[in-house]
A and B are shown apart, each in its own frame.
Chain A
Amino acid sequence: MTRGPGQLTILLSVAIVVAAALAVLFGESAFDAAQLGQAFTDASSGPAEVLWAVRAPRAATALMVGAALGLSGAVMQGLLRNPLADPGVLGVSAVAAFGAAVAIVLGWAALPGAVETAALLGAGMAGGLLVLFSARVRSPEALILFGVAVSSFAGAATALIFNLSPSPIALAEVMSWLLGSVQNRSWVDVAWVAPAVLASAVLAAFAAPGLRMLSLGEETARTSGLPMARLRLLALLAAALGTGAAVAVAGVIGFVGLAAPHLVRTAVRGDPARLLLPSALAGGLMLVVADLLARMTPTDQELKLGVFTALVGAPLFALIAWRAAREWRL
């Protein structure tokens, strides 16, 4: 018997608490026991500053971004009935990043929320395109190819911005988006991203019965009596909001949306509805751990989180594709 979803949720939650504690306690500046004690007793001390104003919001941002990506991945996989669907693979992150890049280059970064809104709009647009395409073409392989096209086009459009932009400062800022990071994120970032993730989760929860029904295919779902048009829209909004929020606060971080649902799917016996919460938790856990590992890796320049997840995630994508291909009898 596999572990039930309830046990899995508890297990993941405990792991998140442990990982978050490690992420707060360990970092580039190593503290001894006395300094750590000081961090808990004297709020104005240096160690307290590092733990609570630098590491804690960073870990919280990683948790929120990972949860948003894990949830978005699970929603997209359910919506498109495809274990390879992922905001990054299908181009949602790339279009969101393009939106953010346009906003930065146009100098809107000074307007609060402008870059974030541009990222969200980009994510929504890409999500809409994918749903339109998947409504007309059933083949899962074709959808991945379409996502690759969307992703490449958004990448090319972003490259065009690099090509034409006169300002090197804006370019550096765009570049850091594309690499993906939660470095130097503050509680303000957490306060911005948390409600978006929560809203995405609520939308996803409403859409869950529709995702489950879609397991049987588009036509059966349409005759099931559920209001599928509305549920699809909710699911799409949930995925776009989750991905958009993640990209808005941390840039492009790939493969978490692919890997998180994959890790917990067996425990929920494939059910796309019960997959949602564990995927969000697994995504959050993965990103907190990945960020800790990226920080602790001894390199001159800190390893960017997006680079790290892509290095680990791309081989995993290949593995899942290998397994899925056997199922589709390619």
Chain B
Amino acid sequence: MNAFLAMWDAEARLGGRPVLDGADLLVEPGELVALVGPNGAGKSSLIRAFAGLLPLTGGVARLSGDDVSIVSPRARAERAAYLPQERRIAWNLPAVEVAALGAPFLAPDEALQRARRALDEVEAGHLVDRGVAEMSGGERARVLLARALATEAQALLVDEPIAGLDPEAQLMVLERLRARARAGQAVLVSLHDLPLAARFADRVAVMHQGRVVADASPLQALTPDVMEQVFGLNARWVEGPDGPLLSAGRRHSAPD
């Protein structure tokens, strides 16, 4: 029972529609768990529930043994950092100051130091003084990831961190998250890219209609049955030089 992130039978609604419908998930420290599933399966909702942003109507979500809803904002931030998919930053702040927002309780100098380290970690050291409005989407994504890493929270809750990034940046982000997991953090990351999920995650949790329907090592979770029922794909995994590759086609593809 030492799972850092723990959710049992979680239920939640958004605008009257159920978005979590009996979801269970455990993430241990030192583990990278990829949350996959089609659009609308409840991945973001599950992550937001752990971040304390989506109140549950049933079940429990716990951070380090305590119910998310009763942990103080500060303790919650120390336990889990949340990186949303949305990458809008309202003002043209320099990268280092955005990253320093990950450490709002440190003295300004220490926060800036930590921010610089985090920017180096995501290979954005050269962006330190550049305003975020003068950056590409990929550069801004790195800066925001650095902000989440600068929290040094015990868990990372990361929603679609590689969406819209170039292939090199996608690999870099997942490498960094895996390195953080190896260093002892509990990392939960939602992904659409199944081969990358299979390659980087210790476990893959497959979501479908608000529920985790498979939760195992990547290839045990993403079985042909699951691929067909959840994603509507005729798929099989083949061994590639850098990890498993997915060979897939639509189950109901239109005739040519």
A residues engaging B (CB < 8 A)? 81-82, 209, 212-217, 219-220, 222-228, 265, 269-272, 327
Question: Cβ of B92 and Cβ of A224 under 8 Å apart?
Answer: no
Q: State whether the Cβ of B104 lies closer than 8 Å to any Cβ in chain A.
A: yes
Question: Cβ of A225 and Cβ of B84 under 8 Å apart?
Answer: no
Residues of A within 8 A of B53 (CB): 219, 222-223
Question: Cβ of A216 and Cβ of B98 under 8 Å apart?
Answer: yes
Q: Provide 25 A-B residue pairs closer than 8 Å at the C-beta atoms, listed in order of the A residue.
A: A81-B91, A214-B90, A215-B90, A216-B89, A216-B98, A217-B88, A217-B89, A219-B48, A219-B51, A220-B82, A220-B83, A220-B147, A223-B52, A224-B77, A225-B104, A227-B74, A265-B91, A269-B92, A269-B97, A270-B92, A270-B93, A270-B131, A271-B97, A272-B90, A272-B91
Question: Cβ of A215 and Cβ of B77 under 8 Å apart?
Answer: no
Of residues 198 through 231 on chain B, the ones whose CB sits less than 8 Å from some CB of chain A are: none
Question: Cβ of B91 and Cβ of A215 under 8 Å apart?
Answer: yes
Interface residues on B, range: 20 to 34
Question: Cβ of A269 and Cβ of B101 under 8 Å apart?
Answer: no
Q: State whether the Cβ of B67 lies closer than 8 Å to any Cβ in chain A.
A: no
Residues of A within 8 A of B83 (CB): 220
Known: A213-B101, A225-B76, A225-B105; 15 extra A-B contacts, CB below 8 A, are: A215-B89, A215-B91, A216-B101, A216-B144, A219-B53, A224-B77, A225-B73, A225-B74, A228-B73, A269-B93, A269-B94, A269-B97, A271-B93, A271-B97, A272-B91
Determine the distance from Cα of A225 to Cα of B74 in the docked complex, in whole angstroms: 4
Of residues 39 through 61 on chain B, the ones whose CB sits less than 8 Å from some CB of chain A are: 48, 51-53
Question: Which residue of chain B has its CB nearest to the CB of A228?
Answer: B73
- Contact among A215, A225, A226 with B93 in the assembled complex (CB-CB below 8 Å): A215
Question: Cβ of B104 and Cβ of A226 under 8 Å apart?
Answer: yes
Determine the distance from Cα of A220 to Cα of B87 in the docked complex, in whole angstroms: 10
Residues of B within 8 A of A272 (CB): 90-91
Determine the distance from Cα of A219 to Cα of B76 in the docked complex, in whole angstroms: 13
Residues of B within 8 A of A228 (CB): 73
Question: Cβ of B73 and Cβ of A271 under 8 Å apart?
Answer: no
Question: Cβ of A217 and Cβ of B84 under 8 Å apart?
Answer: yes
A137 to chain B, nearest CB (A): 14
Question: Cβ of B147 and Cβ of A213 under 8 Å apart?
Answer: no
Q: State whether the Cβ of B239 lies closer than 8 Å to any Cβ in chain A.
A: no
A322 to chain B, nearest CB (A): 16
A167 to chain B, nearest CB (A): 47
Determine the distance from Cα of A269 to Cα of B129 in the docked complex, in whole angstroms: 10
Question: Which residue of chain B has its CB nearest to the CB of A230?
Answer: B73
Residues of A within 8 A of B89 (CB): 215-217
Determine the distance from Cα of A271 to Cα of B81 in the docked complex, in whole angstroms: 22
Residues of A within 8 A of B144 (CB): 216
Residues of B within 8 A of A226 (CB): 73-74, 104
Determine the distance from Cα of A213 to Cα of B81 in the docked complex, in whole angstroms: 14
Q: State whether the Cβ of B168 lies closer than 8 Å to any Cβ in chain A.
A: no
Question: Which residue of chain B has its CB nearest to the CB of A81?
Answer: B90
Determine the distance from Cα of A223 to Cα of B144 in the docked complex, in whole angstroms: 14
- Contact among B77, B86, B92 with A219 in the assembled complex (CB-CB below 8 Å): B86
Determine the distance from Cα of A272 to Cα of B92 in the docked complex, in whole angstroms: 10
Q: State whether the Cβ of B133 lies closer than 8 Å to any Cβ in chain A.
A: yes
Question: Which residue of chain A has its CB nearest to the CB of B92?
Answer: A270
Residues of B within 8 A of A209 (CB): 104
Residues of A within 8 A of B86 (CB): 217, 219
Determine the distance from Cα of A215 to Cα of B77 in the docked complex, in whole angstroms: 17
- Residues A222 and B52 in contact in the complex (CB < 8 Å), given A81-B90, A209-B104, A217-B86: yes
Determine the distance from Cα of A224 to Cα of B100 in the docked complex, in whole angstroms: 11
A197 to chain B, nearest CB (A): 25
B231 to chain A, nearest CB (A): 27
A34 to chain B, nearest CB (A): 53
Determine the distance from Cα of A256 to Cα of B151 in the docked complex, in whole angstroms: 37
Residues of A within 8 A of B131 (CB): 269-270
Q: State whether the Cβ of B78 lies closer than 8 Å to any Cβ in chain A.
A: yes
Determine the distance from Cα of A227 to Cα of B93 in the docked complex, in whole angstroms: 22
Determine the distance from Cα of A209 to Cα of B74 in the docked complex, in whole angstroms: 14
Residues of A within 8 A of B76 (CB): 223, 225
Determine the distance from Cα of A15 to Cα of B221 in the docked complex, in whole angstroms: 68
Question: Which residue of chain A has its CB nearest to the CB of B85?
Answer: A219
Residues of A within 8 A of B48 (CB): 219
Question: Cβ of B52 and Cβ of A213 under 8 Å apart?
Answer: no
Determine the distance from Cα of A216 to Cα of B90 in the docked complex, in whole angstroms: 7
Determine the distance from Cα of A265 to Cα of B92 in the docked complex, in whole angstroms: 9
Of residues 101 through 116 on chain B, the ones whose CB sits less than 8 Å from some CB of chain A are: 101, 104-105
Question: Which residue of chain B has its CB nearest to the CB of A226?
Answer: B104
B195 to chain A, nearest CB (A): 29
Residues of A within 8 A of B97 (CB): 269, 271
Give per-residue flags for B113-157: 1 if the beta carbon is below 8 A from chain A beta carbons, else 0: 000000000000000000101000000000010010000000000
Residues of A within 8 A of B52 (CB): 222-223
Question: Cβ of A215 and Cβ of B101 under 8 Å apart?
Answer: yes
Question: Which residue of chain B has its CB nearest to the CB of A275?
Answer: B91
B162 to chain A, nearest CB (A): 18
